[in-house]
Chains A and B, each alone.
Chain A
Amino acid sequence: MAENTCEEEVFEEVFKTQAEGLRNFLYYRCGSLQQAEDLVQDAFGKLWQNCAKVPLTSAKSFLFKVAKNLFFNQVEHQKVVLRYEKEQRDNPSENSPQFILEEKEFKELLNEAIANLPENQRIVFLMNRLDKKTYREIAETLEISVKAVEKRMHKALASLRLVYKKV
């Protein structure tokens, strides 16, 4: 007998395995962590309401479909902003204030460029770089082909290269 998402234990397991990926995906779309977390609650709410109709194997696909269709309860689409950790610098020349300043400016330009990517490309790029998902995993989650993922990734990188022209 297929496991039923109406059972609390099963549902909890789905939450524990899917919630973070879902939140990240939603954040890449809307740029607000709070909103992404709220939408995760909404998506799981819909899963719970429909638990009798959604078998365990379809739960992830259901969640992402619902997430894609959720209305963004916000005045403005916020820009996705990446937070950078401090990097260990072994190379002494990279410790100069000049270099650090240039890199800071470059990071800002890069951030801007990532935020301005078309949503499709941005999502694929960030799922690969931040969520550490492979092209295959991304293809399965978004229900597109691996080739499609590669094309979006390529376009994203091609756009980000343009940042070098601004420096």
Chain B
Amino acid sequence: MEKDKEDNNLEDTQYARWLSGDLSEAELSDLQKDGTLQELEGIIRLTDQASLPAYDIQKGLQRFKKQGLKKAPSPKRRLRKVWIALSAAAAIILLLLVFLPGLVGSNPDTTLTAENGSTLYHEFGEGSNALINDGSSISYNPDSWQESRNVTLKGEAYFDVNPGAPFQISTDYGAVRVLGTQFNVRSWERLSVECYSGKVQVQVDATNFILTEGMALRYDATGKPSVQEIASQEPSWKTGVSRFQRVKVQEVFSELERQFNIQINAQGINKDFTGSFPHSDLEEALDGICRPLGLSFSIDQANNVVSITDNN
């Protein structure tokens, strides 16, 4: 009985232990009997013939010396001397900081949040800027901005990036890398990117897409991403309109909530919506969404709540 328990724990590492020679006689003979051993041996025999091309260390080092070494500006060398002059206690504190989550860098990130119902404009100081949409936020580390511009985005923002150090945007659904361009990144339910000028690379799961001027990353009904053309010169929300193409209407309601800073009760409504709504007028916006879908709405002005029901 006890042996069985042990076996259960060891089963999920069995083949690994076979490979490292850590198997008991009993386990070995079991694998032999059911033919597993032969198959494993066949696999290993073949992969043992495989190899990677050797890495030319000298060549790599020469390449780094030519380009990589140059990147350390002299102020860093002054910093080094200061670091050496610190006492032992201080050095330990520095080490501890290095191991904190979030990689190196002990300076707190700057975070900018646009409230519901408003957009926030932010300049990064070297000519790049971002227009942050309702309810969205960006954060970045101003200290390391010179060497590599990394921004974490929650929600949606429009970026205008000056060429310079690599510019990268991380979201919950994927990452975007930029080279000097203007583009919109939307990551509420998935990562959508529209490129208005220049060139952007977008990484979603393990796939990379390249977008040039006039192209966007969109998703079909099954959630599969693809690159498509866009007609407009800038994202519609910048000019006061939100556009949607075949999305679940609940997403539209979420965007409505952010734009108008209201709460929407619309449980159980599960339709697809294609169209747009203006940011200027709530009634007009609700009408534009509800009428085509056969829904009706009522606005509770006192509590800033909208209730939506299905007519059918």
Contact = CB atoms under 8 A, between A and B. Distances in A.
A53 B16 contact: no
Nearest to B61: A15
B24 interface: no
A19 interface: yes
Contacts of B52: 24, 27, 33, 83, 130
Interface string A34-59: 00010011001110111111110010
Among B47, B84, B148, residue most surrounded by chain A Cβ atoms (within 10 Å)? B47
A76 B210 CA distance: 9
A55 B15 CA distance: 38
A83 B103 contact: no
A130 B217 CA distance: 37
A37 B62 CA distance: 13
Interface in A74-113: 74-77, 82-85, 87, 103, 106-107, 110
Interface in A51-74: 51-55, 58, 62, 65-66, 69, 71-74
Size category of the binding interface on chain A: 35 or more
Interface of A: 1-2, 4, 6, 8, 12, 15-16, 19-20, 23-24, 27, 33, 37, 40-41, 44-46, 48-55, 58, 62, 65-66, 69, 71-77, 82-85, 87, 103, 106-107, 110, 114, 119, 128-130, 134-135, 147, 149-155, 157-158, 160-161, 163-164
Contact of A157 (B43, B50, B105, B203): B43
Interface of B: 12-17, 19-20, 36, 39-40, 42-44, 46-53, 55, 57, 60-61, 63-64, 67-69, 71-72, 76-77, 79-80, 83-84, 91, 94-95, 97-99, 103-105, 147-148, 166, 168, 175, 177, 201, 203, 206-210
Nearest to B17: A150
A69 B147 CA distance: 16
Contacts of B168: 71
B20 A135 contact: yes
A49 B76 contact: yes
B175 A48 contact: no
B72 A49 contact: yes
A163 B43 contact: yes
A49 B71 contact: yes
A48 to B, nearest CB: 5
Contact of A72 (B84, B103, B208): B208
A157 B60 contact: no
A160 B64 contact: no
Contacts of A19: 55, 57, 60-61
B19 A128 contact: yes
B12 A151 contact: yes
Contacts of B67: 41
B84 A4 contact: yes
Sort A-B residue pairs by CB-CB distance and give the 7 closest, nearest first. Answer: A153-B16, A150-B13, A150-B16, A82-B50, A157-B15, A20-B55, A154-B15
A77 B206 CA distance: 6
A39 to B, nearest CB: 11
Contact of B16 (A24, A107, A157): A157
Contact of A158 (B15, B63, B84): B15
Nearest to B95: A55
Contact of A110 (B47, B148, B209): B47
A149 B16 contact: yes
